[in-house]
Structure 1
Amino acid sequence: MIRVLVADDEPMVRAGVRAVLATAQDIEVVAEAGDGREAVELVRRHRPAVAVLDIRMPGTNGLDAAEAIRDTVPGTGVVMLTTFGEDDYILRALGGGAAGFLVKSGAPEELIAGVRAVADGAAYLSPKVAARVVAHLAATGAGALAGRRGAARARVESLTAREREVLAHLGGGLSNGQIARRLHVVEGTVKAHVSAILARLGVDNRAAAAVVAHEAGMVPPQP
């Protein structure tokens, strides 16, 4: 059973997230919080597999809560809930320990898929979030989108053929175990490849590596 904490300052949103997750037989919401500080306290108490956090909350926001959870309860994966116009927050969250990013207006199936992926140790970017992050990086970076894509492809070229395969699957939201089954290798081999990929790309976590995979066009676009 995947134990989940849900944090959002709007009770109706929390109720909606709980209702969606309740449709999955392998997921159980064990606690709810109305702000980031309470979320961190409840994560320490309940040790859930996944914490679903709204980015903007009064007091301690979701970004600060994600960093606190990463530092004090690293075994809990963090999924951030975003709305349009929060791209800067998403970029900060990439470096703050969050492993999943979903838009509140997304399909219920995405929420369940994201929670399962992060619980399994994978990074999960909603297709809408991935597209927004890539576009935002292009708009705020030094160069056009083509330049960003070219730079990402150049970074990916430093990887071996097998590492590029692993990165493509990582960008698609697969866990180490799922990638191992796809490539017919043991999970330890995939873990070693992921560590090498993070080092060669110069990123700190799987979510940031997934962004590079999307930028480089390694992940097929989804509807």
Structure 2
Amino acid sequence: MKKKRIISALLICVFSFMLLGCEAKDANTKENADNQTETSNNKAQENETTKDESTKKNDNDKTKSEDIISKDKNNDNTKNSSEEKSAEKFYGTWIISKDLTTSKQITTYSSNDIKSIIGQKLIFSKEKATAFGESIDTLKQTIENPIYKKNVISKAKFEEEWKITFKDLGIQGNSVTEVNVSSSKGENTCDFLIVDDNTLVLSGGGVFLQLKK
């Protein structure tokens, strides 16, 4: 009997150690699983944070790019606007539409000369201009890279000097802007008066000719 009791006690001890070992193993397994879960969650959070930062960076880059494009567009608009303002209103193609010369003027043109040039075109631009002077042949000359010089003349001074009135030329007001056109060497020239945006008065050789766009 005593021997059986000893064996039973030993068996109980063995089972107890085995149970304790299993519980410890389960605890370790659970702890490892928890650690893995926590690690996975941390990685997921890091990935989400990285994704958010990347998205935010892309959005910022896109915004900066749009701002640059908008700025460049505004600069282009400003540049175009400035170029338009610098372009003279008298730039363009003009047609000799009418002879405004009165009998008081002494001219180098005959009546047939004037009739022959009615309807002829003249060009004024930044790159070139048509010349006009003492004879018909000057209309065949082109002023390259013309220099335009403006001068405001009072009504009284103009009428006294030219012996023709503003009314004869269709000019209103007490002054008019005269434009002298010449090449850099002063070889070819042309003179005209600005009446309005669509009307000029060409002068040369003692004649006054109305120009229309």
| Structure-1-length-normalised TM-score | 0.21
Q: Radius of gyration: which is bigger?
A: 2
Structure whose residues are more often strand by fraction: 2
Structure whose residues are more often helix by fraction: 1
| Structure-2-length-normalised TM-score | 0.22
